[in-house]
Structure 1
Amino acid sequence: MGSTHSLLSVILWVPHVHAVWACVRSCPANCVCTQERSCSVLCDRAGLGQIPSEFPCEASSINLDKNSIKFLSERAFGTLPSLKSLSLNHNNISFITPGAFKGLPSLTELKMAHNEYIRYLHTRTFTALRRLVKLDLADCNLFNIPDRIFIELPSLQELFCFQNNFRRIPGAIRGMENLTHVYLERNRIEAVAYNSLQGLTKLKYLNLQDNRINVVHERAFQGCRKMEYLYLNDNLISELPENSFDGLRCLKMLNLGGNFLRNVSNTWFRDLVELEVLYLDRNRINYIEEGAFENLTSLVSLHLNSNNLTTLPFSVFQPVYFLGRLYLFRNPWECDCRIEWLKEWMENYRLVRDIPCASPSSVAGIDLMDVLYDRSPEGYCLDPVELNVTSDSPTPSSKPFSTTESKFNSLISKLLLQMGLPEEVANTTEVFSNATQLDGLADGVTSGTREDSSKAISFSFHLPALLTVVIFQSK
């Protein structure tokens, strides 16, 4: 029984030894060839100035990254029927002969990123690569690519062309019905035309961030009904047509941050019923139309930070029942009664934080959560008052002394806690602040004339509110 088992092991081992030998015997100079599940040829950082003349016939992956290869001739790699992955990143390739990749019928992944001297590609550069799924041409200093260059790549799904010099979305991608991911960020693209994405029926991911886009045509994305992720951030977009995103009912994430939008229309997002994350941050938005978000029933994160918003009517958000996080910081909020509802919502759901007020001056620098709204005898909300901090003889504050004093001390405590001081020290400092101001008040009353005494009392009364304004304005 033992001898039979040993014989079986030998029989099974022989093919593996043969495969290892076949992979290693034709290994190019300065390269390392290994046989684990398949034959891998590692020639990265090998100091090569040209493609080696011979590779193992069984090679399934070849890595030629970070060499000094400048030229690819026709059939540059011979015939390698098992090759699936080829990487030529970080070389000095300046010219690729048409048909350079012939003889590689099984190739599914081709990486040629960071070859800054290519600049031009022939229409038949990628001929015969009918199984190619992933193509990386990022950072190759390309200004354009021929419209029919991908016509012989029917299986192409992922295209990486970011950080080139394209001024328009390459027409070569039109009609590529199997494309699912397109990366075109950090180019010089100026517009998304109505036909730029025509025929991309399976596209799920499109990245156009950090370009120079200033125009998005009507229904530019209408054919991309399976789109899930769309990046248009950090461009020059100042306005969008009413039906910009019509038909994108599968969209989960839309990034419009870092543009020049001034308002949010109630027609832009009407079809985005599956949208979960929406970025509108870093624009110049000062107005949001009522109903702008009413169909976004799947929304869990909305970024409106770093805009010019001063108020946010309750009617804008009333229909959004499933909102998870709302980012509103870095806006010049006017914390009057129009956004009292937002404070109550913050207190109830804890979904919003960090909303410092810009006005009125009595609450400037204070977080909305800490603003106290007074009530009229009839129960109506009263706006916080404006402070006249430039007057020589300030009028008495409409707030009781104790309220103004406690606000000041609370702010000092928070600042000390943020600086890393323990709570006990912060509390001690607050008590010391109270004692110091009371001492100053007593000194003012017991010295000088009666008129001087009244001035001292008035000054001590207004000092906390004045310092509060100065502290937060200086920040």
Structure 2
Amino acid sequence: MCSIVIAVYFLLLPPQALSLWACTRSCPPSCTCTQEKSCSVLCDHVSMMDLPKEFPCEASSINLDKNSLKFLSERAFGTLPSLKTLSLDHNNISFITPGAFKGLPNLVELKMAHNEYIRYLHTRTFTALKRLVRLDISDCNLFNLPDRIFLEQIALKELLCFQNNFRRITGAIRGMENLTHVYLERNKIEAVAYNSLLGLCNLKYLNLQENRINVIHDEAFKDLVRLENFYLNDNLLVDLPQQAFKGLSNLKMLNLGGNLMTNVSRTWFSDLVELEVLYLDRNRLSYIEDGTFENLTSLITLHLNSNNLTSLPFSVFQPIYFIGRLYLFRNPWECTCDLEWLKEWMESYKLVRDIPCASPSSVAGLDLSEVVYVHLNGTCLDPPELNLTTSLPDYPTMENKFNSLISKLLQQELMDEMVNATDGLRNGTQQDSAESQVSSGHGLFCAAQTVFFLVFLFQAQIDCINAT
């Protein structure tokens, strides 16, 4: 009779209360189970060393972040048909038994990032996760992935493998047509081979920044026809294949900053008609080929700062009038007439600033916006180079002559007075000698007055020259 009453009682409960009861009735110790839109199990930050023996069957998400879990056995989570999200970030997991995630047929997102002891994953680690869409195995000290590890993950769209120890792009992703986002930054990848990215025809985001890439093979990106955001910055690239980005007509952002490139070829960007943002900063660029940007009709922002550029002729920079932001600072600019067009463009559109001149010496230290270009018969004249090692011709020459004159006057006067004093000592009395010395001193005094008068005249003349 009691069981019938209990059954009737639960039948009369509103659906929300019934779901809450179902979610909390088997909530693991040390965990919190909540029912908002669905059943969530929160077991993070509880120093857990072993997985609970049971989770609520209705659980849609389980958070086990920041615990001390070390080992995942086969079917570690039992059977949880409603589970969509499982997070195991920041644990001490070192080994995952093949089939550990069996029993989770509807899992969509699996996060295992920041488990520094995971160095290897078995080919069958993710067996049965056929609906997995997002997988995060970043910062796990992985050296590689087995080529067939994602054989069953045909729905996988986002793969996060950044900050591992990969020395090459894993072959496990080849042919995965549904992948849209791949994160491989901060690894140790040294090259992009011609077959590294084969079959990724729906990829929209690829991040290879902060690796050791120094070689990119011809046609390495040929299948990335839907790619929109591409990060190749902070690698060791010195050069690129002539047709490196051929066919990437949907690319909107390309980051090549922080490499070792010294020049830019006009063939690199010829197909990038949708490109909006281009980073070429922090390289060693000293030369950009004419027409390099002529097909970039959608370009809004261009970063050329922190290079070795001295000039930027207009023939290089077409189509300048589509640009919204142009970054040119930290380059040793030669502010000759070749940059006059850039100054005019700066003044007209107010979209670029901070272009300090390194030369010619007459304008060194000035911003390009402060340089005044002189025209003679319609022709622009470059600012002059100043010979800073040679004295100016006018008053320093006069000063030299003046010093020479004073020196001669003083020497002559001193010799005359010494002769007079000596004659006085030989021919006269002590009184005559004293008078001779007085006379000599008077002569030197007069000579000094003459010198001071000449100094005064000379200084007045110099002030007059400076004033004019």
- Structure 1 residues 105, 461: closer, same or farther in 2, change over 3 A? farther
Deviates more, 1:382-391 or 1:239-248: 382-391
Correspondence 1:206-285 to 2 at 5 A: 206-285=206-285
TM-score (norm 1): 0.82
**Whole-angstrom CA distance in 2 between matches of 1:89 and 1:461:** 76
**Whole-angstrom CA distance in 2 between matches of 1:48 and 1:163:** 26
**Whole-angstrom CA distance in 2 between matches of 1:203 and 1:329:** 34
Which position in structure 2 is the counterpart of 1:344? 344
Amino acid at match of 1:314: F
- Structure 1 residues 268, 396: closer, same or farther in 2, change over 3 A? farther
Q: What secondary structure is seen at the aligned counterpart in 2 of 1:362?
A: coil
Deviation of 1:12 after TM superposition, in Å, equals: 8.1
**Whole-angstrom CA distance in 2 between matches of 1:213 and 1:452:** 67
- Structure 1 residues 385, 106: closer, same or farther in 2, change over 3 A? same
**Whole-angstrom CA distance in 1 between matches of 2:367 and 2:354:** 6
Amino acid at match of 2:213: I
Structure 1 residues 46-76: Cα deviation after superposition (integer angstroms, max 9, x where no partner): 1100111100000000000000000000000
Structure 1 residues 257-308: Cα deviation after superposition (integer angstroms, max 9, x where no partner): 0001111100000000000000000000001101101110000000000000
Q: What secondary structure is seen at the aligned counterpart in 2 of 1:348?
A: helix
Checking the alignment, whether the CA contact within 8 Å between 1:297 and 1:320 is kept in structure 2 is no
1:200 to 2:200 alignment: yes
Which position in structure 1 is the counterpart of 2:81? 81
Q: What secondary structure is seen at the aligned counterpart in 2 of 1:278?
A: strand
Which position in structure 2 is the counterpart of 1:438? none
**Whole-angstrom CA distance in 2 between matches of 1:381 and 1:320:** 21
Which position in structure 1 is the counterpart of 2:455? 448
Which position in structure 2 is the counterpart of 1:161? 161
Deviation of 1:11 after TM superposition, in Å, equals: 7.8
Q: Which runs of 4+ in 1 moved over 4 A?
A: 10-13, 452-458
Rg larger in structure: 2
1:149 to 2:149 alignment: yes
Gaps of 5+ in 1: 1-9, 398-444, 463-475
Q: What secondary structure is seen at the aligned counterpart in 2 of 1:339?
A: helix
Checking the alignment, whether the CA contact within 8 Å between 1:388 and 1:394 is kept in structure 2 is no
- Structure 1 residues 447, 166: closer, same or farther in 2, change over 3 A? farther
**Whole-angstrom CA distance in 2 between matches of 1:268 and 1:116:** 39
Checking the alignment, whether the CA contact within 8 Å between 2:117 and 2:140 is kept in structure 1 is yes
- Structure 1 residues 155, 331: closer, same or farther in 2, change over 3 A? same
TM-score (norm 2): 0.83
1:39 to 2:46 alignment: no
Deviation of 1:15 after TM superposition, in Å, equals: 2.1
Gaps of 5+ in 2: 1-9, 396-451
- Structure 1 residues 453, 97: closer, same or farther in 2, change over 3 A? same
- Structure 1 residues 79, 386: closer, same or farther in 2, change over 3 A? same
Which position in structure 2 is the counterpart of 1:383? 382
Structure 1 residues 207-260: Cα deviation after superposition (integer angstroms, max 9, x where no partner): 000000000111110001000000000000000010100000000000000001
- Structure 1 residues 310, 45: closer, same or farther in 2, change over 3 A? same
- Structure 1 residues 231, 396: closer, same or farther in 2, change over 3 A? farther
Determine what percentage of the aligned residue pairs are the same residue. Answer: 71
**Whole-angstrom CA distance in 2 between matches of 1:16 and 1:337:** 76
Which position in structure 1 is the counterpart of 2:170? 170
Checking the alignment, whether the CA contact within 8 Å between 1:297 and 1:321 is kept in structure 2 is no
- Structure 1 residues 446, 384: closer, same or farther in 2, change over 3 A? farther
Deviation of 1:318 after TM superposition, in Å, equals: 3.0
**Whole-angstrom CA distance in 2 between matches of 1:111 and 1:96:** 14
Amino acid at match of 1:390: T
Amino acid at match of 2:119: R
Aligned length: 403
Q: What secondary structure is seen at the aligned counterpart in 2 of 1:60?
A: strand
